[in-house]
Amino acid sequence: MTVAGLMQQRDLAIIDIIRFAAAAHPTREIVSRNVDEPLWRYDYARCFTRVAQAANMLAAHGVKSGDRVSSLAWNAHRHFELFFAVPGIGAVLHTANPRLPDEHLIFTINHAASRVLLLDRNMAEIVERIRDRLETVEHVIMLSDAERSLPGYTGYEQAIADQPKIFEWPRFSENSGAFLCYTSGTTGDPKGVLYSHRSVVLHGMAGGLSGAMGFSAFDVVMPCQSLYHATAWGLPFAGAINGVKFVLPCDKYDGASLQELISSEGVTFSGGVPTIWTMYLDHLARTGGNPETLKRVIIGGSAVPRDMAVAFDRLGVTVQQIWGMTETSPLGVVSTPTPALAELGRDDEQEQIWTRQGRMQFGIEIEIVDEDGAPLPHDGEASGALLVRGPWVLERYFRSDVSACDADGWFDTGDIATIDRFGFMRITDRKKDVIKSGGEWISSIDLENAAAGCPGVKVAAVVGVHHPKWEERPILLVEPLEGADLTESAITDYLASRIAKWWLPDRILFGPVPMTATGKIDKKVIRDAHRDILRG
């Protein structure tokens, strides 16, 4: 029998993060671009006031504890306010992903059963397309200033203007749901991952640690990973806990736009998928610019190319690779130095850091196992299924009756990895049949099914191969029916009306499709044969 601890049982709550930032760092700035609006600039104190007004506004629209609210929005200050206002009232913010094909987007909003949808101005086109098919949405609110809200929408600024500047924030269990993020990194319909207040706060605290993102109140943080993508890797929370200045780029991720913000706002830290940094480095190379105040970038979502890390290093910027997934909130491992690595000497240390996804972090256990589930040695050689466990790893998907974990609480990530004696993990392959292009998933199975429907196709196989800008792009191998007269353009035309444009394969090849002994398409053989087909 243990003895009960005698400390306060104060439930962890997301609203306390912004309340703290407003009290401890009231004048620290938040600067935001917005769709077609001048730069917005305020501080944590004003932000907290507006968070209260937004909460009052949502309550006036009937949003209650436990309800879901969807956003279709970029990295801008009003979306940031919703990150605190919605969970603050005990409701759940579903950050819908505008890059999803319409069918999936509609599925997620209906599955979430959201009562309110808040959108950025340039999402109106999407909303017009799908609005009739949203089954539960009662109110649609536009996240724009008073003058620019489009007809037919309630404007956010008008709606909050007369609301009280305080809100009676309720206290509730820290296990209550707070954010609903759907992942399409699996087969079938997107799956909802419901973060709790407890998981978000713990993840935010851990994210700021020196072995992870290592924030201080002097940092100026520009999140370039989308707020709708696993809460921008928890940056809003890790940053506010540490009182950083935030610079929000809205939807402008081209190199010139980022450089302008870095230079004018003194950005010291940024993060995003490799594609963004490819564009940024290209911009610097073309303009002869330098990263100025930028000191660190955290890169993940796909493997960081070694050349990218080297290029940043030459410019005096430290690259920290991160690995994670929506199911892990998403922080899993981060590549930061250790004394044991330093003993190897600078070259080996750098090599280790540049070529591994990262090292173990307190709060998330990682393990690799063989096909029978037996643990493999952490020798940097043995590779196996990567399992994770911890307070910010999902237990089951939203609306699912079954656990997504095994009896010991391990969640199988679908990645294949090694772990070395220093505790660094390296992804070597992926079990799941999905392709990651510029940080977004393409289902190879959906693409194959679409292609298989094209008249004259006998078998269609899709694999992802390396692409210099998008990291990975799909290529399609088609085995035609005997006598069929198939051309690349006929297949492209057929696919164009059935899938999102950015899903179209970069290359269509014709030939026999290799099969495994069990009659499955042998993707490994196809991938190996065409590995370099899209390299520049």
Task: Tell me which residues are annotated as active site.
Answer: 183, 327, 436, 441
The H-or-E segment that residue 32 falls in is strand 29-34
Q: Quote the least distance from Cβ 385 to ligand ADP, whole Å.
A: 12
* Cα separation, 15 vs 230, whole angstroms: 18
Cα–Cα distances (Å) from 358 to 300, 321, 423, in that order, read: 10, 6, 8
Q: Quote the least distance from Cβ 70 to ligand ADP, whole Å.
A: 18
* Cα separation, 69 vs 67, whole angstroms: 7
DSSP state string for 315-341: TT-EEEEEEE-GGGSSEEEE----HHH
CA angle 270, 275, 279 (to 5 degrees): 80
Q: Quote the least distance from Cβ 413 to ligand ADP, whole Å.
A: 5
Q: Quote the least distance from Cβ 184 to ligand ADP, whole Å.
A: 7
Q: Quote the least distance from Cβ 109 to ligand ADP, whole Å.
A: 18
Which of 243/439 has CB closer to ligand ADP? Answer: 439
Phi, psi of 311 (to 5 degrees): -60, -45
Give, as one character, the DSSP assignment of residue 132. G
68 and 178 Cβ atoms separated by less than 8 Å: no
Q: Quote the least distance from Cβ 208 to ligand ADP, whole Å.
A: 18
Q: What pairs with residue 118 in β-bridges?
A: 71, 141
Q: Quote the least distance from Cβ 90 to ligand ADP, whole Å.
A: 26
Which of 171/306 has CB closer to ligand ADP? Answer: 306
The H-or-E segment that residue 24 falls in is helix 15-24
Q: Quote the least distance from Cβ 326 to ligand ADP, whole Å.
A: 4
* Cα separation, 15 vs 415, whole angstroms: 34
Which of 180/303 has CB closer to ligand ADP? Answer: 303
Residues near ligand ADP (CB under 6 A) = 183, 185, 229-230, 300-303, 321-326, 330, 357, 413-415, 427, 430, 436, 439
Phi, psi of 50 (to 5 degrees): -70, -30
DSSP state string for 469-522: TTEEEEEEEEEEPTT----HHHHHHHHHTTS-GGGS-SEEEESPPPB-TTS-B-
Which of 53/357 has CB closer to ligand ADP? Answer: 357
Note the residue count of the chain.
536
Which of 129/431 has CB closer to ligand ADP? Answer: 431
Which of 323/424 has CB closer to ligand ADP? Answer: 323
Q: Quote the least distance from Cβ 496 to ligand ADP, whole Å.
A: 25
Phi, psi of 346 (to 5 degrees): -60, -45
* Cα separation, 100 vs 190, whole angstroms: 10
Which of 196/357 has CB closer to ligand ADP? Answer: 357
End-to-end CA distance of the chain: 65
* Cα separation, 98 vs 122, whole angstroms: 11
> Where does residue 323 rank: exposed (0-12), middle (13-18), buried (19+ CB within 10 A)?
buried
* Cα separation, 123 vs 152, whole angstroms: 14
Which of 183/352 has CB closer to ligand ADP? Answer: 183
Which of 221/435 has CB closer to ligand ADP? Answer: 435
Closest residue to ligand ADP in the complex (CB): 325
133 and 146 Cβ atoms separated by less than 8 Å: no
Which of 248/325 has CB closer to ligand ADP? Answer: 325
> Where does residue 7 rank: exposed (0-12), middle (13-18), buried (19+ CB within 10 A)?
exposed
Pairing of strands 114-119, 68-72: parallel
